[in-house]
Amino acid sequence: MSCVVLVVLGVGACSNGTDTSAPDTTALPGVTTLAPLAERYEAATLRVFAADGTTREMCVLLAATAETRQSGLMGVTSLEGYDGMLFRFSPASTGQFWMYRTLLPLSIAFFDDGVYVSSTDMAPCPADDPGACPRYGAAAPYTEALEVTAGDLGVFGVGPGTRVEVEGPCER
């Protein structure tokens, strides 16, 4: 998965490992085997109201605390059947994400109270030096950031004019 770190807040969305079905990444300093994502994060239904009027549902992992945002998708090599990860912030943030020790390419969309702000693609940065990893920010303050496999935002109808709402729990 990805290592997305909220630089401005000093919070990261990176985890310290890989899932057990993944290739061995213990050669990366600080990366160890992790418990399955379902054991580390709450899952929720994210309803996506696309600009074209269609509605889709996603099953996403929630990173809503400093601790879960810091572990995020770092070192993960599979979303384990989930559609993505939703990072939630209160109050709104202007912090940047990075892909330090992240192994999967990801796309990220930023929302302010559920309304689309901007999006970008993020390349993996498995480097041991965090300074070697680019930072990715939103065009304006945001309260949610949705990470999905690179290129999949369009699959879920996410883009300009999109709104999202977190619904009840989901299971994968």
Q: Please, are residues 117 and 162 in contact by the beta-carbon 8 Å criterion?
A: no
Can you tell me the distance from the alpha carbon of 98 to that of 3, in angstroms, rounded to the nearest whole number? Answer: 7
pLDDT value at residue 34 = 57
pLDDT value at residue 67 = 86
Lowest mean pLDDT among 17-26, 46-55, 67-76, 140-149: 17-26
E strand map for 14-160: 17-18, 32-33, 42-49, 55-63, 84-93, 97-98, 106-112, 115-122, 135-136, 142-149
Q: Of all residues in the chain, what percent carry a pLDDT higher than 90?
A: 60
The pLDDT tens digits of the residues spanning 64-113 come to: 999 889 878 988 889 999 999 999 999 999 999 989 888 899 999 999 99
pLDDT value at residue 105 = 96
Can you tell me the distance from the alpha carbon of 168 to that of 85, in angstroms, rounded to the nearest whole number? Answer: 15
The CATH architecture annotation of domain 4-18+40-169 reads Sandwich (2.60)
How far is residue 164 CA from its own chain's centroid?
Answer: 15
Q: Tokens in use for 59? A: 């099953």
